[in-house]
Structure 1
Amino acid sequence: MADLNRDAHLPDLAGSLNNHALRLVEIGRRVEAVPFSEGAVLLCRELVDLNRDAYLPNYVQSLATRGYVLVEGRLFRDATAPLAEALLASLELPEYAQNIIGLIGELLRRAYAGDAGVAEEFRIVTGQDFPVLLKEPPSATES
């Protein structure tokens, strides 16, 4: 279907890839989830380039999902770039969509707890120091 009318089906395809990546992580198939999360980010990036206002929330969600997949796979430094991009882009989200900022922060906190080198990667990606607040240990309820 996406081949026949690509523009009409691209948002659904991106969402499906995101959901598939999440389901794979849930059943412990983290390595298999990585390319699906990357595919979702690429499609959402394409959509946000076409209409930033309409698709920015989806793009931020896909970046956060990619970061989650990588954190769950213990690829902490690899998770830094999508999570940093998600954090910066989330500042442009409308107020109703900004609830994702806390999730992104928790994922960055978990990544840093897994590998303190995440702070240097964050600096390379953003040109900014890793937020001191995110250096605190993850909450006890996080896995």
Structure 2
Amino acid sequence: MKNIFEKSVTDQIIHRIEKLTPETQPLWGTMSVEKMLAHCNIAYEMVYEEGKHKKPNLFVKFILKSFVKNKVVSENPFPKNGQTAPQFIIKDKRTFEIEKKRLIEYLQKTQELGENYFDNKESHSFGKLSKKEWNNMFYKHLDHHLSQFNV
């Protein structure tokens, strides 16, 4: 798996994002391009915007760690048309340029902070993750959705 914390990899992801237009259509699924960008931003909001998303209670966190975590942080790709967590579903209208700009800024911030910042950092839903698990989660999710939109 590519390392999202390396500048060259971050630059490749940003280049793919910049190929998107408001008219870009998905190869699978029902999300519009602006909702996909907003959906991808949620993972970063959970890291950088304390209090924006409600943290799961202990029981839900136990369930997430036991049954979901490995699917999210492993190197195995996400399946097409897979189920997503409710907090990642975008129901309201979004603006393409705003969501695109936000995602690029989150990527740049993540790369600049570097993998050591994330090593053993507490995640919103899964407890402490290694830098490899953070990388897998960030990169795999972005790669999945950018591939969904054929970029």
Provide the TM-score with structure 1 as the length reference.
0.29
Of Structure 1 and Structure 2, the greater helix share is in 1
Provide the TM-score with structure 2 as the length reference.
0.27
Higher relative contact order (CA 8 A, sep 6+): 2
